[in-house]
Each structure stands twice: as C-alpha cells, then as structure tokens.
Amino acid sequence: MSKERELLLDKYSSRVFKNRKSHITQLEFGENPDEIAANSRAIPGIITARGCCYAGCKGVVVGPVKDSVVITHGPIGCAFYSWGTRRNKAKPSYEGEPNFVPYSFCTDMRASDIVFGGEKKLEEGIDEIMQLFHPKCIFICSTCPIGLIGDDVQAVAKRVEEKYGITAIGYSCEGYKGVSQSSGHHIANNGLMRYVIGKGEEAPKGKYSLNILGEYNIGGDGWEQERILKKIGYEVVSVFTGDGSYETLKNSHLADLNLVMCHRSINYIAEMMKTKYGVDWLKVNFIGVGATSKSLRMMAKYFNDPELTKRTEEVIAEELAEISGDIEYYKSKLKGKTAGIFVGGSRSHHYQMLLRDFGMETTIAGYEFAHRDDYEGREIIPQIKADADSKNIEEISVERVVGYEDRYSLEELKDLRNEGVELDNYSGMIKDMKEGYMVVDDYNMFETDQLIEAYKPDIFFSGIKDKYAIQHGGVVSRQMHSYDYSGPYAGFRGAVNFGRDVTMSLYTNAWSLVKPPWKTMPMLEGTLGGAG
Amino acid sequence: MLELTPKEIMENRHMTINPCKTCEPVGAMFCALGAEKCMPHSHGSQGCCSYHRTVLSRHFKEPAIASSSSFTEGASVFGGRSNITTAVKNVFDIYKPDIMAIHTTCLSETIGDDVGSYIVDMEVPEGKTVLYASTPSYEGSHIQGFSNMMIGFMKYMTKKTGTPNGKVAIFPGWVNPGDDRELKRIAELMGANYIYFPDHDGTLDHPMDGKNEYFHDNAGTKAKDIEAMGDCEKLISMGIYCSLEPSEYLKKEYKVPFSNIPVPVGVKLTDQYILELQKFTKKEVPKELEDERGRLVDLMLDSHQYVYQKKAAIYGDPDIVYGFTALCLELGMTPRYIITGTPKAHWEKEIKALMDQYGVDESEYVVKADTDLFYLHQLIKNESVDILLGSSYGKQIAKAEDIPLVRMGFPVLDRYGNPIQATVGYAGAIRYTEKIVDAMMDRKDRDAADEDFDVVM
C-alpha cells in the first residue's frame, strides 16, 4: 500500500477503514489496472459532499430546461435551495420564448398535505400555472415525503397532459433514492428519453448537426462551445440541458452525432439514443486548450469530410492565435504548481487537462457521485455488480425505431476508434493521471483535509462547502461547481478566463497579510522576565 | 428579468412561486452552529444536509460544518436507527465535537422515526452530549426550526441547581455574528453579567488565522453556559418567532422570567433592549451608548429629506422584517408592502400595531404572512416602490422593476462583509441608515438632469 494512502486510512476506526479503503486508490499503474469502488452508500456521519436524487434530477438535469416549468412537489426547502443557485445560464433563443429558469415553483406541502396527500394541491397548482404561464412542458420533481405518502405524480402528469394537451412528466426522484445525485440523473434521463426525445419532427438544416449532452452551461460554458462549433459550421440541434429547451430536445434524435461532456449525468441518454435512433456518441472534453482541439479533430474525423477537416484546422489555428499570448502569460505564473480537485460528474477529469495546459499537475482527484466507469473507463461496466440501491433505479430498454440507420457499420466504427475517435466509449479519468497520485471516491471533509496536509497542493478545486474551510487553512480554494461566479471556462476563451482566475486567487495580495507583523517580530528587549 | 410575471394578482394560490422562506432543518442547523464545538446533524437523506450547509456557507462566506444520516431507500422503509447510531459513532471518532445536535427532516418525520428514543439507547462517549429537536420541513419555516433547536438544547442540557447565578440570559434570535458582537457589547456596556445563546460570533465569522479547524476554542455558547441558563435570574429574548417559544420553555421548566422584545433594529427597539438590560442591572446607561444613540438620531435628522415618505417594500423573516419596518418608520419612510413567507398569521396584527403607532392607516400598506416573492412582485407591478429591503432573492424584482435593493436578513448570498457587521443596535441602525440614504441618493444622482446634478447634497 502506498504511503499517503496508508497514512490516511490509518486514522480511521476499523469499521470505517473497511469501507473507505476500497474508495481510496493511490495510483500504481502496475500489472493489474488500478481499481476503485464507487456508487455505493455514503457512511452516515462521515460528512460526505454528496447531495441527493432530487438534486441530480431537478437540480442538474431538468432544472435548466428553460421553456419548461419545473415544479418541486414537497415541502418548501428543496425548491428554495435549488432556486437560482447553480449558474446554469439561460436566455430566450427567440423573441417570445419563455425562460422559467429564474423562477421557483413548489407545492409547499404542509402537515395536512402529508397526512391527506398532496395530489390535489399539485393539480390545483398546475391549473394556476397553466393560467398564469401556459407552458408547453411541465416537469414534476418529487422530494422525500412524496414516495412515502404515496402521491402518484405520474398519474397527475397524465391527467395534466389530457386536460391541457401539453407534455407533463412526473419524476419520482425522492432524495433518498439511490446513494447520491447520480440516481437522479438516471431517473431524469429516463423521463426525457420516454417523453421528450423523438417527439419533434423538425430536422436539422445544416450539413453536420450535433447535440451537446451533459453540458449545463455553467458560467456560459455551453455558449462558448456553441460559438466554436458554429464557427466551424456545425449546427447545434440541442443542448442537454444548459440553456436547453423542450422545443429543441424533442428534435434531438434527428442530429448526426451526440457529443458527451459530463459522462456521468447523461450517458444513459447517449446510449439509448444510439440504440433507438442510431446516433453515435463521442466523449468530448471542451475544458482545456489541447482537449478542445483534440475533441474538434475527433469530430472532423468522424464526419470524414476534407472540407470540414480544413475548416476545423483553420478555426483551431485562429482561436489559438487569439489566446496564445494570454495562455503563455498565465502559464508563466502557474507552471510547476500542483492542484487537488474534488467535484462531481466529469469535471475532475476535464480540469486536469486544462491545468496541464498551464503546466500544473493534479495530484489528488475525486468525484462525489461517479461510478467505476468514470474512473476506470467503460470497459469495466460488465464487471460492475448492481447493489440493492442501484437496483431500485429503473433501467429502461429501448429498441431501434424503424427508419433510423447507423451512420457507420461496426467495422467502420472500429476503424474510427483505432484512429483515435473515442466513439460510444469513455476511457475514464485514471488513465490521464500519474503514479502516486491519489484518487478518492465519495470524498469527505476529513479526507480532504488530510490529503491537503499530505500533498500540500497550491490550490484546491472543490465546492462551497469545502472552500472556506480550506482557505482558513491557508490553501487557495476555488469553486468548481459555480466557478466562483466567473466563467466561462470551456473552449479557447474559457481557458484564458480560467488561467486569469487561478492566477488571481494564488497571487492576490491579501495572502501576505494573514500573519500579523507582531507574530513574526521579536519582542522588545526588556519586556520578558520579571525583575531580572 | 421575470417578464413572465403578470400584473394581475392571483389570490390564494396553491402553488408557491419564488418563496420567501425555507424549511425548518436549516434553522436548526444554524442554531446549533452557535454552540461551542457542536456538530449539527441532519437526520434524513444527505441532500438536505448539503443544501443547508451550502446556503449557510453562501450567506456567511464561512464553512458550515454538519453531518448527515445519509438515508437510502432501506432506511426510509425500515427506519433510521442504524444510520443515526453509526453516524454518532463516526462523528465523535472522526470530527470530535463536544455536542451533536440532531434535527429531523421531512423524510425522518414522515416515517415517524423516534430519534428521541434512539439517542437514549445510544453509546455516547464520556463527557459528550447528543441532543435532538424535531424539525419537520412541512411545518412553519426555517425560523420555527431555529426556535425548536433552541428548545432542544435546553431540554437536554439546561439544569437548575437552585442557586441563582446572578446572570441574565440573552436570546438574540436569528441574527448575524456581527449582531451577536453588538448585542454582547451593549450588554457589557450596561454592566450585565450574561449568558448569550446561540452565539455565532467566531463560529460563522471566524478570523483568518491560517488554521483549518472543525471547531474553534472560545467560539459559540459554552456547554456550561447552556447548562447554567436554568439558574439565570432573567431572560431577555428577541423576536417573537425565533425566541418566544424557547423563552416560554425556559420559564415553564426553570421558572426564569422573561421579556420578549423585538429584534432591536432602529432607535426605539434598541432603546427597549437597553431598558430591559437596565431593569436587570439597575445601572445608568453609559455615556458611550447615549452618544451612539445621539449620533444615530443626528444622522437621521441630517439626511431625512432623502428618505422622507419614500415607499419601501420589506420582505423576509418575520422578526427582522418587523425591525426594519420600525426603522423605516423612524426614518419617515412609508412601508408599503410588508411580506413574510413564514406562515404565522398573527404577525400581520403585530405589524399593524406598529403601523398604528405612527398613525398609518391600514389602507396605506399591504401586510401579508405566508406568501411569496411572486406576490410581492405582482403588488409592485401594480404600484411600485422606491426601495426594496430584504434578502438577495429580491434582486430579480429589483432588476425587473429598476428599484434599488438594500440587502438585509437571510440569506444575503451576493454580497460580502454583511454578516460580520451589525444590523442591530445603534451601530446597526447607523449602518443601515447610511445604506438606505445612499441608495436613495445614488438613485437621485443617477436620474438627475445635468442642470440638476448637485455636487453638494
């Protein structure tokens, strides 16, 4: 066992040790691939960073769908905490398109609703929403008590659809389902697949069309990606779901290719769209200069059109010329520094690429709610045994719809993969890391602090719950969920923003003021001692 | 911004839109963070705990450390006894607090988990305390949760030895650490020997000292002080909705008489706090305090012309909104809409009584409890106001309707430095008078024609 890992685990009682040892891996790259346990229950009392199923469903996946009303069915809290707190930016795509993202809707259940059921209140509330806003789509997201008291949100959704001729989806995404946000992603994916994707008939007009999956437009990341893609000549049919809309998601099955950013939260849809509509998916990473260029080149190879390849190279060259001065400057400030990163879905992997652009290494990395494939690559999936908690989350199966063909044969896909086009696959975070680095699944507060002590990174990327504690300890911490209210960090221009922000936080003058001068100065002579 | 909000007011909605309250457990967590070396613990699914820690961290710009029972579907069916037992062991093993303050959630309440009996059977390390309060999210609001947790602490920790300790207990209600310092400073200036609970001075605004510690020495109300509250001679508690029930509990159980006064925002309410302290200490009010008061009134008189009869919309938690309504009235402003999300109908009567003191007729304002910011926005669309006073969530309305917003109460998520300074006391009123006057004067400058633009004002 490697040194830092041993030191960390030694501090636990045998009970906790037994559980956590399989979730903490110090990379060896030995004969056998490094393994890690994931997507299992958090230990009560450990201070996990995880959230819940509702947070994954409402907060992450369906919340950003801007033209739809997302109702939180339950007591007020969850609607309050998920209101305007995630920075999934949205604006109307055309005049008159409604944008409900700044709103929070909740049935605000009281004790009597818990006792007598909340379906009636929910339906009355939806009548009011129809009268006030007449949306085309409504999502109902259940919080903890709903499943326990037996409210049937699917039945309510069905009645609403019949009454108003709109799309209404009832989600049983109660907070206790699964072991983290991840179950909520899955549930949200299932609903979108069943009731939204494939409902539209508006075919893309461009020669090459795309969906961006698992991009939530935090800080405007999705917009920077769209800017680059459109500059090359791609048509972006829909984005799941940052600045996304019901109106565009329902046509997404007609796109040529799915790009997958956050693998964890959206891989279900990517897989099901491949099966049902023959749309291939490509794991891309638009975080980092090199990573963005690589992703764009893979896309060009996929479509295999000399014109597109030429245009891709032109755009990459133009974009690099625009940012290279800034990147070099920030690299001169950041080179050689080390980082730790604990975030959600795929960011802990993506940002390592961007940090490397600036000459920084990430020595500690972990996820809140990843599965083994996010760490080890999708080849591990057949070996993953579903536990009781995973089995509670519905797996839906889809079949090929008549009239939809695969673009490439299996043989052609194999050739493309051999050429480095990572189609219908994700090889995970670990392979991009180095020996001795630490990978932690479902990290907790204690481990974060211990690892910072052991590895002494210059900066630690995490969330708001960790940020101020880490900074009190004298280590710079930046939020990787909200970008500390900055961004975008994606694409070429985003890389510059990121370099600027990291430099700013490392070099801000106030760090030199932490210690008062009298703590470092010798005491005045004669003030020590008594008479003598 | 918010352009989908129609002007026509829909009365008696079932759907809450843009809430002006949140749920009980976060109040319990906040309260527990005001006790020394205390780990708040959320008995429910871990999302609750994450949400509460997040909103507290975003308001205070400080770590808000708390643990969770991490319910899964199994615990939701079979009960959370095993989760809480494991959690208590782990928290004391790993994080080593002195106290664990458990609160429930809508999940554990709905399944009827009997946390009170679980903790009786539990092994708790020597010298450590585990306590509990019931905080169902489907009742009251975060304010009720705060109040329930105060009672939880007293239930498990407070004792009566029979020997009076000569102290006054002070319950500040839901205020910021800057307020805690101010209220304690006033008590000290009045020469009071006091126990102050809960106290977030130093727990949720800990100085930058280069140390990442879970708990700090000398921050938060000490366990021995919570225990000793039963021997206090008197209790001064602030805010009906945060502190009245805990006050009644202390009186009922330990026969400590109390005065429940409003949260001291503005001149008169601060006067009231000082008079209550004086009743206890029987000492003269020191010149220092009188001078502060004098400077505040001087500021109000000097600047009155910029705020006189300016219409204000005040929204947020019932106790702090009451205080700010009083401050606005003292400043000669016109509180036009006075709103809370907390479902306490009686609060409307208290606001009315306050407005009556200034001879404001009921037709001149709207007061409403158990409502939301969507309603407030609709009111404003029908008749606008000059200023908004409340949490960060009013900034959408402020932008949509081009109205200046002065942030106060909870949560303030989008500004820095607010919680470390006082809102209460004369010092707080000086700060907020300046903020309100500045907001009005900035607006006047912004809107002035060049020929009307004054350098001297």
pLDDT in tens, B189-211: 999 999 999 999 999 999 999 99
Chain A CB contacts of B212 under 8 Å are 449, 452, 469-470, 472-475
DSSP B270-281: HHHHHHHHHHHH
Locate the chain B residue with the closest alpha carbon to A134.
Answer: B4
The verdict on residue A91 lying in a domain is yes
**Given the structure tokens 């907390």, which residue do they identify?**
B342
Query: Can you tell me the distance from the alpha carbon of A373 to that of A36, in angstroms, rounded to the nearest whole number?
Result: 10
DSSP B336-388: EEEEE-S--THHHHHHHHHHHHTT--GGG-EEESS-BHHHHHHHHHHS--SEE
Q: What percent of chain B stands above pLDDT 70?
A: 100
Query: Residue A55 gets which letter from DSSP?
Result: I
Sheet with A167-171: strands ordered across: A167-171, A137-142, A69-73, A105-106, B16-17
* Inter-chain touch B15–A445, beta carbons under 8 Å: no
Chain B CB contacts of A50 under 8 Å are 46-47, 50, 70
The complex's ipTM works out to: 0.97
* Inter-chain touch A126–B86, beta carbons under 8 Å: no
Spacing of C-alpha B20 from chain mean position: 14
Chain A CB contacts of B62 under 8 Å are 468
Range of the domain at A152: 53-175
* Inter-chain touch B90–A16, beta carbons under 8 Å: yes
Chain A CB contacts of B26 under 8 Å are 77
Q: What is the number of structural domains in chain A?
A: 1
User: What CATH number is attached to the domain comprising A61?
Assistant: 3.40.50.1980
Question: B153 falls in which pLDDT band (50, 70, 90)?
Answer: very high
* Inter-chain touch B95–A446, beta carbons under 8 Å: yes
Chain B CB contacts of A389 under 8 Å are 72-74
Locate the chain B residue with the closest alpha carbon to A129.
Answer: B15
Query: Can you tell me the distance from the alpha carbon of A275 to that of A348, in angstroms, rounded to the nearest whole number?
Result: 29
Number of H helices and E strands in chain B, helices first, is: 17, 14
Chain B CB contacts of A390 under 8 Å are none
CATH class of the B290-451 domain in this structure: alpha beta
Residue-wise pLDDT tens digits, B368-395: 999 999 999 999 999 999 999 999 999 9
- If you average pLDDT over residues B425-439, what whole number do you get? 98
CB B407 within 8 A of CB B390: yes
pLDDT at B108 (0 to 100): 97
Half-sphere exposure of A529 (CA within 13 A, CB side): 5
Query: Can you tell me the distance from the alpha carbon of B71 to that of B74, in angstroms, rounded to the nearest whole number?
Result: 8
Nearest to B72 among A113, A389, A464 (CB): A389
CATH class of the B168-207+214-284 domain in this structure: alpha beta
**Given the structure tokens 């001679």, which residue do they identify?**
B233
Coil/strand/helix, residue A31: coil
Locate the chain A residue with the closest alpha carbon to B19.
Answer: A80
* Inter-chain touch A77–B48, beta carbons under 8 Å: yes
| Residues belonging to chain A | 532
Query: Can you tell me the distance from the alpha carbon of A140 to that of A169, in angstroms, rounded to the nearest whole number?
Result: 6
Query: Can you tell me the distance from the alpha carbon of A429 to that of A34, in angstroms, rounded to the nearest whole number?
Result: 11
Query: Can you tell me the distance from the alpha carbon of A131 to that of A145, in angstroms, rounded to the nearest whole number?
Result: 27
CB A206 within 8 A of CB A234: yes
CA proximity to B198, closest of B29, B390, B41, B51: B29
* Residues 6 or more apart in contact with residue A509 via CB below 8 angstroms: none
Nearest to A128 among B14, B69, B209 (CB): B14
pLDDT at B373 (0 to 100): 98
Nearest to B1 among A102, A132, A148 (CB): A102
Q: A520 burial class (0-12, 13-18, 19+ CB within 10 angstroms)?
A: exposed
- If you average pLDDT over residues B392-421, what whole number do you get? 98
Question: B255 falls in which pLDDT band (50, 70, 90)?
Answer: very high
- If you average pLDDT over residues B420-449, what whole number do you get? 98
Chain B CB contacts of A60 under 8 Å are none
Residue-wise pLDDT tens digits, B268-305: 999 999 999 999 999 999 999 999 999 999 999 999 99
pLDDT at A532 (0 to 100): 43
E-strand ranges in A110-183 read 137-142, 167-171
For the stretch A160-166, contacts whose Cβ atoms lie closer than 8 Å and that sit 24 or more positions apart, written own/partner, are: A160/A123, A160/A126, A164/A130, A166/A130, A166/A135, A166/A136, A166/A137, A166/A138
Give the number of A-B residue pairs with CB atoms closer than 8 Å: 266
* Inter-chain touch B137–A77, beta carbons under 8 Å: yes
* Inter-chain touch A128–B15, beta carbons under 8 Å: yes
Locate the chain A residue with the closest alpha carbon to B27.
Answer: A77
CA proximity to B220, closest of B153, B156, B272, B160: B153
CB B299 within 8 A of CB B330: no
Question: B417 falls in which pLDDT band (50, 70, 90)?
Answer: very high
Nearest to A114 among B25, B110, B396 (CB): B110
User: Quick one: residue B71, left, alpha or beta (phi over 0 = left, psi -120 to 50 = alpha)?
Assistant: beta
Query: Can you tell me the distance from the alpha carbon of A444 to that of A462, in angstroms, rounded to the nearest whole number?
Result: 11
* Inter-chain touch B67–A46, beta carbons under 8 Å: yes
Nearest to B45 among A103, A107, A176 (CB): A176
- Would you name the residues of A annotated as active-site residues? 52, 55, 86, 185
Nearest to A176 among B19, B71, B393 (CB): B71
* Inter-chain touch A13–B93, beta carbons under 8 Å: yes
CB A61 within 8 A of CB A184: yes
CATH architecture of B24-157: 3-Layer(aba) Sandwich (3.40)
pLDDT at A37 (0 to 100): 97
Locate the chain B residue with the closest alpha carbon to A10.
Answer: B94
Query: Can you tell me the distance from the alpha carbon of B335 to that of B307, in angstroms, rounded to the nearest whole number?
Result: 11
Chain B CB contacts of A386 under 8 Å are none
The residue extents of the domains of chain B are 24-157, 168-207+214-284, 290-451
The distance of B424 to chain A (nearest Cα, Å) reads 26
Average pLDDT over chain B reads: 97
* Inter-chain touch A44–B84, beta carbons under 8 Å: yes
Nearest to B2 among A16, A102, A514 (CB): A102
- Number of C-beta neighbours around residue A477 at 10 A: 25
The distance of B263 to chain A (nearest Cα, Å) reads 25
Q: Which residues of chain A have pLDDT under 50?
A: 532
* Inter-chain touch A176–B106, beta carbons under 8 Å: no
